[in-house]
Amino acid sequence: MAENTADTRTWPDLAISLYDRLTGRGAEIEYEFNNLELSVPSAVGAQAEHAKWIIKGMVKIRTRDTAKH
């Protein structure tokens, strides 16, 4: 699990790190995209090549911390 940005190497590490930092604070993460275009790197670093991904339609990501403290 990523504990700081230097440890973050993958998209799942980023998502886990973000959620871990917000969990227990009454946090809710919600993203909504329509006709999303991404430039996806092949590797980490300035020399990485990029692929263009186009997602036509809607993408929704929702997270909610339901724990009672």
Q: Evaluate whether residue 16 is within a structural domain.
A: yes
Please say whether the beta carbons of 18 and 31 come within 8 A: no
Q: Is residue 40 part of a domain?
A: yes
Q: What is the rounded distance in angstroms from the CA atom of residue 7 to the CA atom of residue 2?
A: 5
Burial (CB < 10 A; 0-12, 13-18, 19+), residue 16, is middle
- The amino acid present at 37, given as its one-letter code, is E
Six-digit token string for 7: 């440890």
Pairwise pLDDT comparison (64 vs 36), residue with the higher score = 36
Predicted confidence (pLDDT) per residue in 3-15, tens digit: 455 667 787 787 7
* Structure-model confidence comparison of residues 2 and 27, the more confident one: 27
In a domain, residue 56? The reply is yes
Residue 69 lies in a domain: no
Residues 12-60 pLDDT 10s: 787 777 777 776 666 677 788 888 898 988 888 889 899 999 988 888 8
Please count the structural domains in the chain: 1
Residue 9: CB atoms within 10 Å: 10
Which residue range is the domain that position 59 belongs to? Answer: 5-64
pLDDT range class, residue 2, cuts 50, 70, 90: very low
- Domain-embedded: residue 43: yes
